[in-house]
Structure 1
């Protein structure tokens, strides 16, 4: 049965101020870092004489530090302002990506990826709040724009990694450092200065927010889903029949294109037609099936490649709708919800690739994928416990007139450190509601 939506005539999410595009471009480069190392993992393992588990630590150090640092992003940004927080995060990524490229061994790269993760946390949490607060077209459009940046970054990261990786394993790290330097300059020039806010966030706020059942449950779903997602992203390259970096980059580029397309176009359409809960059930079951296929046919490279590429469809849908769900049903300010959700989900994403490397070495490559499939299905079961909350959020979003999410967005602008666009957002809200 088709679901009608009051947002059918919402303005395009791609008509945005220059400052939003500057931050979105920086998001693309930042998200490149997630899949950048995929095409060079086998090369790194061979050239640096590292085990599979050791090279998987490139994901673990990056994501675990990102997760922990998420807890402090609100504390930092409330003391120096949104723009300075973005700039600090971008600068850290520039420096540590370059240092990773200049390293002489696997443990140096792992350590500098951790520093990269710190910059990534400061940037990601604040960039989402800035885009939500500054983008025209409302909260839903801002999420679409953010997920578009995520999809493009995830798609182009492996492609860039593959192209530069044919020259040297150092190339992808230096490439991201240069691109992020361009993003840093664009952010400095195009984003208006932001004042230091009067309200100072507490370090305990993201953890305290886990007392709220809806946010804790959705974050738990994110952790379980990311366990499966990063098992696939981190270990599947070793099962693709010895493809060279360019070929591996091409595989993950195709995957990333599907992530972007279904995050931007597929997820909103499916949500409108089936609702958030049912769409997420389908996406999580789809990911679990593809993980199981890799686990059962881990010695057939063609099956692994096809399953990885097809997973982009369900990953794109899931990424958009889980992010939207977290922001819609959380009873705390969105910056706090973003930090809490980021902390929990990146813990799962960080530990999964390393665990996959250890399990594959001990009991075979099929085991981590079969376990990941079960973990993702557990996420679908956990999601069912907040079905009513998701349905209520969908119903409220369909109501005409000023919506709950619009009021929340305006409150978030006042609460997000240093965002200078409250008057602009209020005017956009009036224009949007009149339509």
Structure 2
């Protein structure tokens, strides 16, 4: 069991250098997700592509990421977390550089797929490494990981806008350079693990999904991630702004993701419990997507930033749920969960762009709202499989009372 929200939040900043090195590289890895947001219109113009064709940059990236999640544990359990992290970073450096050299949208989509492979190898292992090395227990580690996610997603659009203003190719070269820095830091600061780790079978992540709680969490997350990436991948075309304008909007969105994942999510979990927090965050995301669909320019900006609050809360709560709800090892549960959830991220960009092209720019957001409703239905219909989360919440409450005695 985790050690409680209060103790975890108090120790999140007191971490060994190896954890900070891994977290830095994770920030850069997550920057790669939002990096292309401000330059999507520029890429479309520069490579003479439609929004749905450019959206395949996300689809290829996340589709490969989803499938790769099934083998990362198998790899890391045989060669160790440090070597796996370095391999993932090296792949990202190579394919981010190649992305910047693309002459056609097809080449760029292919290179982004390779980038997704490296990112999957790194990100899945990074969470396990941070959980294993962080002080303050698993909960503090997950909060630190989600903080890296939020910071990376928020910084990605800014870096993309700044470098993309010179040329749409430069953000890819910039990411490759930062990942190379992360490679050096992990090489120097992360210790090699001792021998004797249990080896993971290739089938373990899929077997883990047979657990009712994990399959419920993953099933709801695939709908949630469809809504999430509808906002992230399609909204740049709706905003109709310059790269700097899009970057500023998604920087605000990313800050909302980071703040809510680290600070708001634990407060809501203590107050409402994990499952009710999911209901509330999904409901807020649903309303915000409808707001985007029905609003003018100013409303689109406001509701887009507001979705970051719900997304940050859900990122933390869903990740914690996936790690706690079953008896599978955390790395295995995370791999199975992420395989399913990233499928939603892979589908959303292309589907949303096609719906926007064929029907109306508002239609993708109504579909995203419907996906939020579907996620809530999954959680409600299979609520009994999530009963172990109530025990975790009760354990958190018990430790909170120990840390902060009642007056």
TM-score by length of 2: 0.94
Aligned equivalents of 2:153, 2:192: Cα separation in 1 = 29
User: Which residue does 2:331 correspond to in 1?
Assistant: 335
How do 1:125-274 residues align onto structure 2 when only pairs under 5 Å count? 125-195=124-194, 197=196, 199-240=198-239, 242-274=240-272
Aligned equivalents of 1:46, 1:137: Cα separation in 2 = 48
How do 1:261-340 residues align onto structure 2 when only pairs under 5 Å count? 261-297=259-295, 300-340=296-336
CA distances 1:331-370 after superposition (whole Å, capped 9, x unpaired): 2000001101110000000111101111111112211110
Aligned equivalents of 2:108, 2:394: Cα separation in 1 = 48
Shift of 1:201: 1.6
Aligned equivalents of 1:345, 1:9: Cα separation in 2 = 29
User: Which residue does 2:371 correspond to in 1?
Assistant: 375
DSSP-derived class of the 1:168 partner: coil
- Are the equivalent residues in 1 in contact too, given 2:77–2:200 (CA < 8 A)? yes
Aligned equivalents of 1:132, 1:44: Cα separation in 2 = 37
How do 1:23-38 residues align onto structure 2 when only pairs under 5 Å count? 23-38=22-37
Structure 1 window deviating more from structure 2 (392-401 vs 98-107): it is 392-401
Shift of 1:295: 2.0
- Stretches of structure 1 that go unaligned for 5 or more consecutive residues are 402-435
CA distances 1:189-244 after superposition (whole Å, capped 9, x unpaired): 0001224545332111111111101000101111010000000100011111x211
Shift of 1:328: 1.2
Aligned equivalents of 1:282, 1:199: Cα separation in 2 = 38
Aligned equivalents of 1:279, 1:201: Cα separation in 2 = 32
TM-score by length of 1: 0.88
Shift of 1:15: 0.5
CA distances 1:287-334 after superposition (whole Å, capped 9, x unpaired): 11111122233xx22221111111111111111111111111122000
- Are the equivalent residues in 1 in contact too, given 2:270–2:396 (CA < 8 A)? no
Shift of 1:12: 2.0
DSSP-derived class of the 1:344 partner: helix
Aligned equivalents of 2:125, 2:133: Cα separation in 1 = 12
Structure 1 window deviating more from structure 2 (345-354 vs 362-371): it is 362-371
Provide closer, same or farther for how the CA distance between residues 198 and 257 of structure 1 changes in structure 2, counting only shifts above 3 A: closer
Aligned equivalents of 1:12, 1:228: Cα separation in 2 = 33
Q: Does 1:48 align with 2:44?
A: no
Aligned equivalents of 2:5, 2:142: Cα separation in 1 = 14
DSSP-derived class of the 1:77 partner: helix
DSSP-derived class of the 1:398 partner: helix
User: Which residue does 2:347 correspond to in 1?
Assistant: 351
- Are the equivalent residues in 1 in contact too, given 2:287–2:369 (CA < 8 A)? yes
DSSP-derived class of the 1:76 partner: helix
DSSP-derived class of the 1:338 partner: helix
Shift of 1:45: 1.1
Structure 1 window deviating more from structure 2 (263-272 vs 92-101): it is 263-272
- Are the equivalent residues in 2 in contact too, given 1:79–1:197 (CA < 8 A)? no
CA distances 1:384-430 after superposition (whole Å, capped 9, x unpaired): 223533322211333459xxxxxxxxxxxxxxxxxxxxxxxxxxxxx
Aligned equivalents of 2:148, 2:227: Cα separation in 1 = 22
Q: Does 1:16 align with 2:12?
A: no
Structure 1 window deviating more from structure 2 (190-199 vs 108-117): it is 190-199
DSSP-derived class of the 2:130 partner: helix
User: Which residue does 2:405 correspond to in 1?
Assistant: none
Aligned equivalents of 1:8, 1:75: Cα separation in 2 = 34
- Are the equivalent residues in 2 in contact too, given 1:78–1:197 (CA < 8 A)? no
- Are the equivalent residues in 2 in contact too, given 1:81–1:197 (CA < 8 A)? no
Provide closer, same or farther for how the CA distance between residues 53 and 101 of structure 1 changes in structure 2, counting only shifts above 3 A: same
- Are the equivalent residues in 1 in contact too, given 2:234–2:352 (CA < 8 A)? yes
- Stretches of structure 2 that go unaligned for 5 or more consecutive residues are 401-407
